[in-house]
A and B are shown apart, each in its own frame.
Chain A
Amino acid sequence: MIETQHLSKLYSRGLYALRDLSLTVNRGEFVFLTGPSGAGKSTFLRLLLVQEKPSEGDILVNGHNLATLSRRDIQEYRRGIGFIFQDFKLIPTRTVFENVAFVAQVLGVPPAQQKRKAFQVLKWVGLQHRMNAYPHDLSGGEQQRIAIARALASDPVLLLADEPTGNLDPDLSLEIMNLLREINSGGTTVLVATHDRELIRLVGRRTITLDAGKVVEVA
């Protein structure tokens, strides 16, 4: 699913965020990406979301070479990727239901289909009863479950999560991880960037450790 070869990301003043990174994530795998702050985890996720382009090397995702995608190809590629952020990125002026239906709406999906899908994923994360609430009415755990529901609304083949439990207590963190495991069991490849070693130990999946932009351990 994900393959990088000698991938580097160089910022100005000669600072490497990633350096000569070669790794593989197989289709249907659940992988943790860990390391200290500044290790390059978020940069790697930004490259996977094509928010940035690599300075050197190749990054292949689901057959797409991300370094060479055109603007239109990037749109097409992103439609197959789900994402979850630490700060949820929910739209405060929209209800829970609207937040989830928003993805299908801005992809031009017919309204009836948008609603059906939104209700389906909300039910899946167990928050269909909060569909008319606004994000600020929800707890952190609920907000992250809504963000997961939104990520699932486009039926992604790859789900990227950047510190998804960073704002949550240990119990809620585990609850979110269980949801991600369930998503993975349905065949979706899941890549979670986190520095929470305890959570990684509890979930027990393959872990790639980065430090100073390099892979230092695969366990």
Chain B
Amino acid sequence: MRAIDYALREAWASLGRNRAASAFAIAAIALAMIVLGALLLVTWNVERLLAEWSSATEFSVFLRDEATSEERGAIEALIGESGVVEAQQYVSKADALTRFRREFAELASLTEGFDDNPFPASVEARIRPEAEADGRAEALVRRVAALPGVADVRYDREWLARVASGLAAVRGAGFALALVMALAAAVTVATVVRLGLYGRRDELEVMQLVGSPIAFIRGPFVAEGVLQGGIAALLALGLLWLGSAAVAGWWGAELAVVLEGGSLQFLPPRLCGALVAGGMAVGGTGGFAASRHAV
């Protein structure tokens, strides 16, 4: 405990002594943490929305204009008797036009000059979650698509899968970038801590000559890296919070439309904690690497 107490006090004093160099190291870690944090913020929000949307997956069967009531009845019967959907609803051409005018009020004027209503009638079905998971929904969609009177079937799952796959690619590239930046930050910390170390050569020599334990000799440098990393991560979180608040303030209404009523949310405490721990780990690694030169 005394070694930890000593390490923390010495590390804090060293941060004060080497303000400019420490600020540089903190900025480097903060930059890496901002990239990682922004990535987490985006992927976490998208994943959250995907989960919400996945739990309420629908498919829409668009009918040909010339589809007969028998054909429509056969489609509704197949969907209703499949046991795959929770509910279904017929949306007439007129209902579709009304809905468009309501949801896209700014574009409503464009529909005024139509001689004929261009929106197709459709049957919308909300899928049971278990049918989604076991593939029955997929099979039903294929069967419905083959029925007479059907112009097209839009199954939300397909674009959700595409978004999820795109998200995985973004996440992979983002993590790779964050990893490279974290490595660069660790090297910066190691360099800064090492500079401070050279300024304390006499002190370190005295420590070694009096038989000080390694924990007392190397500990302050590791602690200095950990403190730099922790401060940088908190700084990054603060900036990310301001950034996300600004985005929500400036583009909140547009986001609500795109996200179908959803909103951008800041990272949950567990991810904030993980980011701070990550920053401390990056700094600690740099400090640990530099501390090898102390003995």
Does A pair with B?
A: yes
Residues of A participating in the B interface, judged by any CB pair closer than 8 Å: 49, 51, 74-79, 81, 83, 89-91, 93, 102-103, 105-108, 110, 150, 154
Inter-chain contact B205/A103, CB cutoff 8 Å: no
- Asked whether A106 and B210 contact (CB < 8 A) given A89-B202, A89-B205, the answer is yes
Query: Which residues of chain B are within 8 angstroms of A90 by Cβ–Cβ distance?
Result: 202
Give CA–CA (A108, B2) in the complex, Å. 6
- Asked whether A106 and B209 contact (CB < 8 A) given A89-B202, A91-B202, A93-B17, the answer is no
Query: Which residues of chain A are within 8 angstroms of B214 by Cβ–Cβ distance?
Result: 75
Inter-chain contact A79/B210, CB cutoff 8 Å: yes
- Highest count of chain A CB atoms <10 Å: which of B3, B6, B203, B216: B203
- Asked whether A78 and B209 contact (CB < 8 A) given A89-B202, A91-B203, A108-B3, the answer is yes
Give CA–CA (A103, B216) in the complex, Å. 11
State the 8 A-B residue pairs at the shortest beta-carbon distance, nearest first: A78-B211, A79-B211, A106-B212, A75-B211, A106-B216, A108-B2, A103-B210, A91-B203
Inter-chain contact A75/B212, CB cutoff 8 Å: yes
- What residue of chain A has the Cβ atom nearest to residue B202's Cβ? A89
Say yes or no: is B213 at the interface (Cβ < 8 Å to chain A).
yes
Query: Which residues of chain A are within 8 angstroms of B2 by Cβ–Cβ distance?
Result: 108, 110
Query: Which residues of chain A are within 8 angstroms of B212 by Cβ–Cβ distance?
Result: 75, 106-107
- Highest count of chain A CB atoms <10 Å: which of B17, B209, B217: B209
Query: Which residues of chain A are within 8 angstroms of B133 by Cβ–Cβ distance?
Result: none
Would you call the interface of chain B mostly helix, strand, loop, or mixed?
A: helix
Say yes or no: is B207 at the interface (Cβ < 8 Å to chain A).
yes
Supply 7 A–B pairs (Cβ within 8 Å), ascending by A. Answer: A79-B210, A81-B209, A89-B202, A91-B202, A91-B203, A93-B17, A108-B213
- What residue of chain A has the Cβ atom nearest to residue B200's Cβ? A91
Closest Cβ of chain B to A5, distance in Å, is: 25
Query: Which residues of chain B are within 8 angstroms of A89 by Cβ–Cβ distance?
Result: 202, 205-206
- What residue of chain B has the Cβ atom nearest to residue A109's Cβ? B2
Closest Cβ of chain B to A134, distance in Å, is: 14
Inter-chain contact B6/A107, CB cutoff 8 Å: no
Inter-chain contact A106/B207, CB cutoff 8 Å: yes
Cβ-defined partner of B206 (8 Å) among A74, A102, A108: A102
Query: Which residues of chain B are within 8 angstroms of A102 by Cβ–Cβ distance?
Result: 203, 206
Inter-chain contact B213/A75, CB cutoff 8 Å: yes
Give CA–CA (A110, B5) in the complex, Å. 12
Closest Cβ of chain B to A53, distance in Å, is: 15
Give CA–CA (A89, B6) in the complex, Å. 21
Give CA–CA (A51, B17) in the complex, Å. 29
Closest Cβ of chain A to B159, distance in Å, is: 62
